[in-house]
């Protein structure tokens, strides 16, 4: 029997065991853990390691990474940490798809503890920016469902998809080179997107086994945890243990989801074609999916199953408290009254849903509790703007308190010329990197900066205090 099937059996047995133990009420308690499983203690507690607070999360595309970003933003705010955020010219991403550089970071968000906005990975730049003890994490998704999501989400922006009659997935996969042009705008969404995000060469031939093995090995050396979207909760259990966080720190609500009508099921034949076209991504996924289950086995599948149950119960309790005692209903953007909670819509062909808080929620709620509920369901673009405002205010206050002799002369602000589309300001994708992420293993990671094409970007010295919001 496979590890995954064994795990599902443990989940079922644990559910029955907990229900019997608690008289039919599955309560969120530390006593739900049986002897032999690690105790689920919360900080502060004797013997617990301090929470690890320096984290890079490489936010990949269409992998549940927006949900993970929201979790990290809330952790940063709750612990008075600094999250690196993009300069205004980059929008809410670090000038993706250009290779990341520290010039893309807003000066009011330096020095950072956490970085979690979309970027193309550049290990040397991140090493210069982040503390030496930084832990690197990312997330992958099964290539078939991920590619179906990409073509649905970016069909109005990626030229390779726009050329396909009726945006047909079947037509694209039948003759991908008829529609795909490697060096044009947004081509990274049409082939090996995970590899590109990780700093690799998305167009390296599948027959280049040496490159594929080396790239996977480098990612494995650099990232302490590679989460798997299909096993998101199990991945969070590993994350909690890796960072010595509490259960409260990994609570979440799913964000940036499509309606069921915007999705399509895949036949085995289509899935095979997707894997063949995205062979590097498929190799990454297969390797790190297996790696995830090895790590879960070390913790003990029964213990993981019970911790997942406690996580889901705690999440349900939190959501019911935020939504007036009931589970939240997904709503279209048009149905959401609070504009700060409306998710961005990529096109008229796909509907991204979100949540709206009950109108009477504030009655009997503290302002702090209301803000927690609001941030829990806030979309990426709006949360990035809110967080930048709050961190800029904190920066200005701290700057005013510095002794005069420690202040720095005002530098010229960054000037970046970028064209826009409705979601982000983007530059032309760089040529694909020649090899896998390089460098020795520290707790950091990966790949080369490449030149840009087709657009002009002028970058001057960063401003220490005058960068516009």
Say which DSSP state 439 is in. S
Distance CA 263, CA 450 (A): 34
Q: Give 256's Cβ-side CA count (13 Å radius).
A: 20
Asked whether the beta carbons of 214 and 436 are under 8 A apart, the reply is yes
The pLDDT, as a whole number, for residue 32 is: 42
Does the pLDDT value for residue 232 go beyond 70?
Answer: yes
Is 10 or 144 the better-scoring residue by pLDDT?
A: 144
Distance CA 232, CA 224 (A): 16
Distance CA 272, CA 464 (A): 51
In tens, the pLDDT along 46-62 reads 778 999 999 999 999 99
Q: Which residues of 413-434 are buried (b: 16+ CB within 10 A; e: fewer)?
A: bbebebeeeebbbbbbbbebbe
Q: Coil, helix or strand for 258?
A: strand
The pLDDT, as a whole number, for residue 425 is: 39
- Percent of the residues in the chain that have a pLDDT greater than 90, as a whole number: 65
Q: Coil, helix or strand for 444?
A: coil
Long-range contact set of residues 63-66: C-beta below 8 Å, sequence gap at least 24:
63/139, 63/140, 63/141, 63/146, 63/194, 63/229, 64/139, 64/141, 64/229, 64/232, 64/254, 65/139, 66/255, 66/256, 66/379, 66/380
Asked whether the beta carbons of 437 and 128 are under 8 A apart, the reply is no
Residue 348 burial by Cβ neighbours in a 10 Å radius (0-12, 13-18, 19+) = exposed
User: What do you get for the CA distance between the two ends of the chain, in Å?
Assistant: 55
Does the pLDDT value for residue 421 go beyond 60?
Answer: no
Residue-by-residue DSSP string for 333-391: GGG---GGGPPP--BTTB-EEB----TTTTTT--HHHHHHHHHHT--HHHHHHHHHHHH
- Cα 58 to Cα 126, 166, 188, 224, distances in angstroms: 11, 32, 16, 12
Give mean pLDDT, residues 320-332.
89
The pLDDT, as a whole number, for residue 288 is: 98
The pLDDT, as a whole number, for residue 412 is: 40
Instruction: Find all residues with CB under 8 Å of 412, minimum gap 6, and list them.
Output: 460, 461, 463
pTM reported for the whole predicted model: 0.80
Does the pLDDT value for residue 28 go beyond 80?
Answer: no
The pLDDT, as a whole number, for residue 213 is: 98
Distance CA 164, CA 110 (A): 43
Say which DSSP state 187 is in. G
Distance CA 437, CA 201 (A): 10
Asked whether the beta carbons of 148 and 168 are under 8 A apart, the reply is no
The pLDDT, as a whole number, for residue 129 is: 97
Does the pLDDT value for residue 199 go beyond 70?
Answer: yes
The pLDDT, as a whole number, for residue 398 is: 86
Q: Which residues of 204-215 are buried (b: 16+ CB within 10 A; e: fewer)?
A: beeeeeebbebb
What is the average pLDDT score of the chain? Answer: 83
| 439: region left, alpha or beta (phi > 0 left; psi from -120 to 50 alpha) | left
Backbone angles phi, psi at 83, to 5 degrees: -100, 125
Q: Coil, helix or strand for 276?
A: helix
Distance CA 288, CA 142 (A): 11
Does the pLDDT value for residue 138 go beyond 60?
Answer: yes
Does the pLDDT value for residue 113 go beyond 70?
Answer: yes
Does the pLDDT value for residue 70 go beyond 60?
Answer: yes
**E strand or H helix at 242, and its extent?**
helix 232-243
C-alpha 415 chain-centroid distance = 28
In tens, the pLDDT along 432-456 reads 444 444 433 333 333 333 333 333 3
Is 6 or 407 the better-scoring residue by pLDDT?
A: 6
Asked whether the beta carbons of 249 and 240 are under 8 A apart, the reply is yes
Distance CA 293, CA 289 (A): 7
- Cα 184 to Cα 195, 311, 453, distances in angstroms: 17, 43, 9
Is 15 or 246 the better-scoring residue by pLDDT?
A: 246
Asked whether the beta carbons of 304 and 3 are under 8 A apart, the reply is no
- Picking from 238, 398, 349, the residue whose alpha carbon sits closest to that of residue 304 is 238
The pLDDT, as a whole number, for residue 364 is: 61
Cα-based angle 138, 140, 146 (whole degrees, multiple of 5): 140
In tens, the pLDDT along 362-420 reads 566 678 888 999 999 999 999 999 999 999 999 999 887 776 555 444 434 443 333 33
Distance CA 243, CA 224 (A): 10
- Percent of the residues in the chain that have a pLDDT greater than 70, as a whole number: 77
User: Per mean pLDDT, which range of 2-6, 111-115, 272-276 is the poorest?
Assistant: 2-6
């Amino acid at each position: 029997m496979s590890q995954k099937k064994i795990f599902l059996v443990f989940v079922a047995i644990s559910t029955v065991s907990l229900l019997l133990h608690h008289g039919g009420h599955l309560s969120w308690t530390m006593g739900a853990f049986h002897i032999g499983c690690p105790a689920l203690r919360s900080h502060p507690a004797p013997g617990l390691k301090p929470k690890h607070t320096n984290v890079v999360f490489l936010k990949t595309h269409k992998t549940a990474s927006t949900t993970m970003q929201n979790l990290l933003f809330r952790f940063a705010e709750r612990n008075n940490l600094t999250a690196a955020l993009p300069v205004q010219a980059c929008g809410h991403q670090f000038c993706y798809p250009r290779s990341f550089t520290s010039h893309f970071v807003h000066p009011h968000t330096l020095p950072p503890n956490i970085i979690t906005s979309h970027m193309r990975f550049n290990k040397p730049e991140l090493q210069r920016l982040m503390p030496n003890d930084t832990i690197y994490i990312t997330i992958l998704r099964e290539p078939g469902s991920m590619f179906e999501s990409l073509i649905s989400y970016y069909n109005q922006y990626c030229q390779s998809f726009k050329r396909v009659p009726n945006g047909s997935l079947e037509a694209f996969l039948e003759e991908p080179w008829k529609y795909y042009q490697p060096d044009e705008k947004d081509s990274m969404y049409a082939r090996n997107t995970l590899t590109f995000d990780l700093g690799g060469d998305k167009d390296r031939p599948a027959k280049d086994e040496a490159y594929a093995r080396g790239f996977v090995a480098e990612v494995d050396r650099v990232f302490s945890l590679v989460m798997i979207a299909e096993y998101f909760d199990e991945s969070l259990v590993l994350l909690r243990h890796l960072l010595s966080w509490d259960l409260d720190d990994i609570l979440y609500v799913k964000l940036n989801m499509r309606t069921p009508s915007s999705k399509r099921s895949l036949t085995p034949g289509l899935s095979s074609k997707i894997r063949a076209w995205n062979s590097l991504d498929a190799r990454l996924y297969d390797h790190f999916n297996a790696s995830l289950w090895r790590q879960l086995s070390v913790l003990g599948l029964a213990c993981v199953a019970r911790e997942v149950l406690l996580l889901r119960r705690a999440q349900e309790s939190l959501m019911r408290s935020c939504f007036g005692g009931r589970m939240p209903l997904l709503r279209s953007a048009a149905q959401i009254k609070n504009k700060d909670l409306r998710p961005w819509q990529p096109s008229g062909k796909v509907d991204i849903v979100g949540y709206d808080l009950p109108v009477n929620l504030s009655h009997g709620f503290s302002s702090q509790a209301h803000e927690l509920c609001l941030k829990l369901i806030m979309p990426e673009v709006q949360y990035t703007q809110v967080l930048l405002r709050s961190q800029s205010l904190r920066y200005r206050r701290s700057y005013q308190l510095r002794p005069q002799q420690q202040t720095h002369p005002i530098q010229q602000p960054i000037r970046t010329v970028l064209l826009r589309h409705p979601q982000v300001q983007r530059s032309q994708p760089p040529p694909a990197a020649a090899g896998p992420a390089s460098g020795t293993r520290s707790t950091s990671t990966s790949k080369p900066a490449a030149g840009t094409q087709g657009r002009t970007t002028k970058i001057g010295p960063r401003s220490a205090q005058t960068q516009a919001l």
